[in-house]
Amino acid sequence: MLDKLKALEERFALISEKISDPEVIADQEAWRGYCREHSELSPIIDEYHIYQKALETAADDREMIETADDRELLEMLHEELAEAEKTAAESEERLKLLLIPKDPNDEKNVIMEIRGGTGGEEAALFASDLMRMYSMYAEAHRWKTEILSSNPTELGGYKEISFLVNGKGAYSRLKYESGVHRVQRVPETESGGRIHTSAVTVAVLPEIEEVEVEINRSDLRIDVFRAGGPGGQCVNTTDSAVRITHIPTGIVVSCQDEKSQLQNKEKAMKILRSRIYEAMEAERSREIADTRRSQVGSGDRSERIRTYNFPQSRVTDHRINMTIYKLDQFLNGEMDEIIDALITSDRAAMLADGTDSV
């Protein structure tokens, strides 16, 4: 670890010179890259200096203890040594966390896809509840949301809905939401008061730029059709809805929320790029044995990750066996207690496994 920290310190010093160099500043793209790297390294270097100072203080105290013969001085040196050793140990743990390789997608925007599963209309209604929950969570973090595609039901639910969460670090926190969300409650449509169990699937995809995933236009089949709403009635009188099929993978994306065919095509392509990227990453992950992500969930859409029990006002995250009795607050976007615990568990798994981010 020390060798790595020394190398990072040398790199930090070099970058510090670069961002003040007029020639580098003239090349704005290169300058922004150096500034970004400087910002990422800064907390590591600051912590490394704290660690170094604590080690130096401890070494000096040990040396002085060997030669000191004054009782009061010895007591003071022993106290100072204990404090320095404590500081060094705490700083070392923080450095281990700071040195964990970051998921390259963590700072990206997020495309979230929610689909009603088992439970019919009740699942569709819960999909709407989750959409509201994520929207409120995004608002609390000052992120913006934009619906990309939706298939609403007559009762106000969603068979499926895709939306963009635009904000720095959105993926780093929302990526833990991928999987099956189970709800246990008495549906509004249930007259007998019986508790039903339904399921909704959530997929979390990093927003991918065109340069990150190359898509050949010849690999696409683009169909246009007339948009329709719940019950089949027309909500548009022109062929504005777009369906794009990526022939090599068979991935199909449809968008009809906008009145403009061009806007629907742009939104469909945004989703398509992220889905293709997800498929590529899933294949890569399968080739990596015993990855650290298995500790808190692989992000597989078929994995049941959480249960929302309305009668008990309970939210249980099955990956970390954590239960809180704050269902109303959680559905109102107060999700950080569980998300923070998932992040902590994820980091602990990485430290234990010594495995890079997937």
The pLDDT tens digits of the residues spanning 4-33 come to 888 899 999 999 999 999 998 998 888 988
Q: Stretch 187-211: mean pLDDT, rounded?
A: 81
261 and 297 co-located in one domain: no
Q: List the CATH number of the domain containing 225.
A: 3.30.160.20
The pLDDT tens digits of the residues spanning 57-70 come to 999 999 999 888 88
35 and 159 co-located in one domain: no
> Would you place residue 349 in the very low, low, confident or very high pLDDT band (cuts 50, 70, 90)?
confident
Q: List the CATH number of the domain containing 31.
A: 1.20.58
pLDDT at residue 260 tops 90: no
How high does pLDDT run on average in the chain? 85
**Which domain-ending residue is among 245, 271, 287?**
287
pLDDT at residue 199 tops 70: yes
pLDDT at residue 335 tops 50: yes
Q: Stretch 205-223: mean pLDDT, rounded?
A: 80
pLDDT at residue 293 tops 60: no
90-94, 152-156, 306-310 — most confident range: 306-310
Q: Stretch 141-151: mean pLDDT, rounded?
A: 92
Q: List the CATH number of the domain containing 332.
A: 3.30.70.1660
Can you give the residue range of the structural domain that contains 74?
A: 2-98
Task: Tell me 114's DSSP state.
Answer: E
> Would you place residue 185 in the very low, low, confident or very high pLDDT band (cuts 50, 70, 90)?
very high
Q: Write down the H helix ranges in 161-231.
A: 170-174
33 and 8 co-located in one domain: yes
50 and 187 co-located in one domain: no
What pLDDT was estimated at residue 129? 95
> Which tokens in the block code for residue 64?
């002085």
What pLDDT was estimated at residue 351? 75
94 and 186 co-located in one domain: no
pLDDT at residue 169 tops 50: yes
Q: Stretch 352-358: mean pLDDT, rounded?
A: 51
**Which domain-ending residue is among 98, 131, 160?**
98
> Would you place residue 40 in the very low, low, confident or very high pLDDT band (cuts 50, 70, 90)?
confident
59 and 130 co-located in one domain: no
Identity of the residue numbered 232: G
**Which domain-ending residue is among 98, 122, 148?**
98
Q: Stretch 330-340: mean pLDDT, rounded?
A: 95
Q: Which residue has the tokens 């003239």?
A: 26
Q: Which residue in 108, 291, 296 sits closest to 209, CA to CA?
A: 108
pLDDT at residue 289 tops 50: no
d(CA 141, CA 145): 11
Q: Stretch 30-50: mean pLDDT, rounded?
A: 90
Share of the chain above pLDDT 90, in %: 44
> Would you place residue 229 in the very low, low, confident or very high pLDDT band (cuts 50, 70, 90)?
low
What pLDDT was estimated at residue 303? 75
Number of domains in the chain: 3
What pLDDT was estimated at residue 358? 32
175 and 319 co-located in one domain: yes
325 and 313 co-located in one domain: yes
Residue 164, strand partner residues: 111, 146
What pLDDT was estimated at residue 320? 93
Neighbour tally for 355: CB within 10 Å: 18
240 and 134 co-located in one domain: no
Q: Which residue in 125, 206, 184 sits closest to 158, CA to CA?
A: 125
**209 vs 14, higher pLDDT:** 14
181 and 239 co-located in one domain: no
The pLDDT tens digits of the residues spanning 298-323 come to 445 567 899 999 999 999 999 999 99
Q: Which residue in 151, 148, 206 sits closest to 178, CA to CA?
A: 206
Q: Stretch 161-180: mean pLDDT, rounded?
A: 93
> Would you place residue 191 in the very low, low, confident or very high pLDDT band (cuts 50, 70, 90)?
low
Neighbour tally for 337: CB within 10 Å: 14
pTM more than 0.95: no
45 and 70 co-located in one domain: yes
259 and 340 co-located in one domain: no
